[in-house]
Amino acid sequence: MVAETITTRLPQELVKEISEASKVEHLGKSEVLRRLLVQGIRQWRIHKALEFYQSGVFSFGQATRFAKVSVWRFSGLLKEYKVPLQLDAEELEQEFRSAGWS
């Protein structure tokens, strides 16, 4: 894996939170930040996919690929976040097949 260093300024309160997480998790601050960023990006992708799906920017399949989740997981997320399914049964079956979940 190729890594890149990124520098940013953080408010003191956030630095304290990172230090606390570092102590609790028995990890260095860099590792805590990497894990939090991975988790945050994962959540961001899901929320954007739901937003784009709901607004019609993404199809069901596009949203699942953008969110990097299975069609089953995305279906559950739609229910969890009360986003209405915008497919009829035939379209849904086609989306599941195209995602390899026939």
* Segment 27-77, tens digit of pLDDT: 999 999 999 999 999 999 999 999 999 999 998 889 999 999 998 899 999
Contact assessment for residue 74 and residue 64, using Cβ atoms and an 8 Å cutoff: yes
DSSP state of 27: -
Distance CA 60, CA 96 (A): 9
> Where exactly are the structural domains of the chain?
26-98
Using CA atoms of 43, 49, 55, 58 in order, give the dihedral in degrees to the nearest 10: 170
Give this prediction's pTM.
0.80
- The CA radius of gyration of the chain, in Å to the nearest whole number, is 18
- In angstroms, the Cα distances linking 61 to 15, 52, 71, 89, 92 are 39, 12, 8, 14, 9
Would the pLDDT of 89 be above 80? no
For residue range 3-32, what is the model confidence (pLDDT) as tens digits? 899 999 999 999 999 999 999 999 999 999
pLDDT score at 1: 80
Would the pLDDT of 101 be above 70? no
Would the pLDDT of 98 be above 80? no
DSSP state of 68: T
